[in-house]
Amino acid sequence: MKELNDYRDYMLNRHKSKPTSLNNIVGDIKQFLSIMEIDTLDQLRQLKKIDIEKYLSAIRNLGNSDSTRKTKVARIRMFFNYLFEYDLIQKNITNSIKVICNEKSDKSLFSHSDAVKVLNKTRTKEEYVLLNTLLGTGIRIDELVNLECENIQDERIYVLGKGNKHRWVYCIQKVTDVLKDYIETTKEIRNSNYVFFSRKFPKTHIAICTVSKIIKECAELSEIANWKKFSAHKFRHIYAMYSLNVLNIPIDVVSKNLGHSDVSVTSRTYAEADKERVRDYFTNVNERGILGRKTFDFSEGEENN
């Protein structure tokens, strides 16, 4: 479709989309057009909302995760918004489309207490420091293995994250104390600046698959439910949920620590606010702090100060 090429230029020039992201966006739109058997704008104009169910069913049958399907639908909606904005279609039928998620995702399977049980089943000091760092910082597994000795400071560590971007991750003192102690006690056998080094290839860092294996073995020993699904990323999820919903750390702070590009990513992925927590916040708030001291006596029709 000519309109798809125009949309590519629109995203590149107006929204400054990165080439890699733009290729993914266009790829999802092409997949949509292929599934819907659409070659021209006239065919697209004839689509009805009920026809979109064919597309939703197709990507569900492909085994895409909830988050992937949501992303695909969002990209289709953006394309339709563009067509509507430039009067190429009369109505955006994708606005009311909703992705039906699975009843229960892996994210809800494990609690903070589960993670602590896994941590308590570590068998060596190295295993303990590895898992203690994951749970205490929420960093990604690739950030963990690339952690360098010189980047450990009091209550913060310097990590190399996505897109080769460095960031400071703040944590409690115990996490960095344990890391420093581990570095000190292994200095005689290490031949690498990586905190977690490979015993087989001393100048390199520990392999990601080795860390994953350690986590899986400790999860099995802990006897938590669904232990086979426990992974390094579960530590990250549990860290985020515990920080937001138990420690009540502001979401922008947690987002910065996690290395998210935008706080909306953190909100969409991790933030949970139930009715009881919302009520508690506003029950205990200082009313004068919000509204000031002035009151009004409705029975007398007079204001009070």
Determine the pLDDT at residue 105.
Answer: 46
Provide the CATH number for the domain around residue 11. 1.10.150
pLDDT tens, residue order, the chain (305 aa): 788 989 888 888 876 767 777 888 999 999 999 998 999 999 999 988 888 888 888 888 787 778 888 888 889 999 999 999 899 998 888 887 777 766 444 444 788 999 999 999 999 999 999 999 999 999 999 999 999 999 999 999 999 888 788 999 999 999 999 999 999 999 888 888 999 998 888 788 999 999 999 999 999 999 999 899 999 999 999 999 899 888 888 889 999 999 988 888 788 777 655 555 566 666 666 655 566 676 677 666 555 55
Give yes or no: residues 171 and 234 share one domain: yes
**One domain for residues 168 and 200:** yes
User: In terms of domains, do 145 and 60 share one?
Assistant: no
pTM, entire model? 0.59
Together in a domain, 264 and 185: yes
The answer to whether residues 77 and 119 belong to one domain is no
Residue 283 parent element (H or E): helix 275-283
In terms of domains, do 124 and 265 share one? yes
Q: What was the pLDDT predicted at 119?
A: 96
Same domain, 164 and 50: no
Q: Answer yes or no: is 122 within a domain.
A: yes
Q: Do 135 and 195 share a domain, yes or no?
A: yes
pLDDT at 278: 61
The reply to whether 150 and 224 lie within a common domain is yes
Q: What's the domain count of the chain?
A: 2
d(C-alpha 106, C-alpha 228), whole Å: 11
* CA-derived radius of gyration, the chain: 25
Same domain, 118 and 81: no
Question: Residues 208, 145: one domain?
Answer: yes
The CATH code of the domain that includes 181 is 1.10.443.10
CA distance readout (Å), 290 to 55, 282, 283, 294: 49, 11, 13, 11
Which pLDDT belongs to residue 115? Answer: 95
> Do 216 and 76 belong to one domain?
no
> Do the domain assignments include residue 299?
no
Q: What is the pLDDT of residue 21?
A: 79
Which range marks the domain in which residue 9 is found? 2-85
DSSP state at residue 39: -
